Amino acid sequence: MATRGKNKANIEAVGGKKLTPATQMMGHGYDPFLSEGALKPPIFLTSTFAFESAAAGKRFFEHITGKRQGPADGLVYSRFNGPNQEIVEDRLALWDGADDALVFSSGMSAIATLMLALVGQNDVVVHSGPLYAATETLIARILSRFGVGFVDFPAGATREQIDDVLARAQALADEKGGKVALVYLESPANPTNALVDVEAVRGARDAAFPGDHKPAIAIDNTFLGPLWQQPLKQGAELVVYSLTKYAGGHSDLVAGGVAGDQRLIDIIRPMRNTIGTICDPNTAWMLLRSLETLELRMSRAGENALKVCTFLRDHPKVEGLGYLGFIADPRQQDIFDRHCSGAGSTFSLFIKGGEEESFRFLDALKIAKLAVSLGGTETLASHPAAMTHLSVPDERKKALGITDNLVRISIGIEDADDLIADFAQALDAV
């Protein structure tokens, strides 16, 4: 982990026992006595920071401009860094066992900054499908304006299928005069909950690109991470988050994060410095609050989801359930067993019928809220085909399994029996 600013009073082990991230969230990266003894970090609302000397200012800017490797070892300007943001980054890195982390103003600003940093004109992006609709739009409609091409594969693809996709991607890159610049994954996929075999992707990438210049492997880890999935252990090099979801977890902030390999973080950081996609100090402070209870919130939501899905699984008006605790496909189960430590609390519910029946269900909910950003303390439900993925062409939605009877649900921390009662009466309205 990078050392930034003044030395921090970090306690990482006690009596030979390595402390868990849940414990380290209470103080890692912050020394109260550097802030008048304040137990919690203050919110540092300043646009710029005073230098101890002209030489220090020069040294800091050498880092900011890339003349020196790594992050600046002091505070410069709030577009580049700040105390609240750095503390959050230190703590976020702990959850995934990452070298370092960066925080952003939204999940999409994290994704966009990562791609702008790693992908150049006429390059090719390989990605799993489906992706969050805005991510698909960024790749297919925006980056394509600059000559960037893409090749995709279904989330559950085998090693052989991934090998074939990488070969096609290299052929396309050769044709365009660029390179295969990035392998971008999303697992579980939004909104189908399909899992990607990260180990197979890493093996295929390393086999296809045996030299030093390999496309980075990045994965959107929003819906299981960082508690139930840690893809860096399976071979990913960067994990991406909408911190708006479970990490923030209270439906009261918008933020994003990237954590992973120091070399890649050092490439992404200057891009963030340039285009100004860092999150603000107040949001960073709120994330610090949220990270302290991340394990508690996600664990309770996961327990609730199991109870709710047990009820839904056999309901006569339910056609299917995309819940990772009840996987029917052997390939998906194998990926889950190797990659995941929990089923999460976000799932796909397939209502018997189509859009009309799904809308009746959603409109009848009393406790669950109809909203599109999931992973809050409250139970939320949405209709991807008509909402989050409305911009995806109809033929692609069909190919990806985003159907009119698919409802996306994120279970919160309410009483599970109350939620079951709510879903029961809503299904009665279908």
Strands 238-242 and 380-382: unpaired
Please provide the DSSP assignment of 28-64 as one string.
TT--GGGTTT-SSPPP---SB---SSHHHHHHHHHHH
Cis peptide before 71 (omega within 30 of 0): no
CA-CA distances (angstroms) from residue 294 to 73, 92, 246, 411?
A: 29, 11, 7, 15
**pLDDT, position 396:** 83
Q: Which residues are catalytic?
A: 79, 132, 220, 245
d(C-alpha 416, C-alpha 225), whole Å: 22
Q: What is the per-residue pLDDT for 388?
A: 79
Q: Which two tokens stand for residue 392?
A: 């995806």
Please give the CATH topology (third level) of the domain spanning 294-428.
Aspartate Aminotransferase, domain 1 (3.90.1150)
In 65-106, alpha helices (H):
83-96
* Domain residue spans of the chain: 1-100+282-292, 107-243, 294-428
Residue with tokens 């880890």: 221
Question: What are 240's two structure tokens?
Answer: 């991406």
DSSP alpha helices (H): ranges in 97-158? 107-118, 133-137
Alpha-carbon distance of 177 to 171, in angstroms, equals 10
Q: Is the pTM of this model over 0.95?
A: no
Phi, psi of 130 (to 5 degrees): -80, 160
Check residue 306 and give its pLDDT. 98
What are the beta bridge partners of residue 153? 128
Exposed/middle/buried for residue 87 (C-beta within 10 Å: 0-12, 13-18, 19+): buried
The yes/no answer on whether domain 107-243 falls in CATH 1.25.40.10 is no
pLDDT tens string for the chain (430 positions)? 344 445 556 888 999 999 999 999 999 999 898 888 999 999 999 999 999 999 999 999 988 887 887 778 889 999 999 999 999 999 999 999 999 999 999 999 999 999 999 999 999 999 999 999 899 999 999 999 999 999 999 999 999 999 999 999 999 999 999 999 999 999 999 888 999 999 999 999 999 999 889 999 999 999 999 999 999 999 999 999 999 999 999 999 999 999 999 999 999 999 999 999 999 999 999 999 999 999 999 999 999 999 999 999 999 999 999 999 999 999 999 999 999 999 999 999 999 999 999 999 999 999 999 998 889 999 999 999 898 788 788 888 888 788 999 999 999 999 999 999 999 999 999 9
CA distances to 192, 306, 329, 334 from 129, in Å: 10, 26, 17, 19
What's the rounded Cα separation, in Å, for the pair 215 and 183?
6
Using CA atoms, how far residue 281 sits from 47, 73, 90, 372, in Å, is: 10, 18, 15, 25
Q: What is the pLDDT of residue 4?
A: 47
Residue 78: which of 220, 280, 301, 347 has the closest Cα? Answer: 280
pLDDT for position 8: 59
| pLDDT score recorded for residue 249 | 95
37: number of Cβ within 10 Å? 8
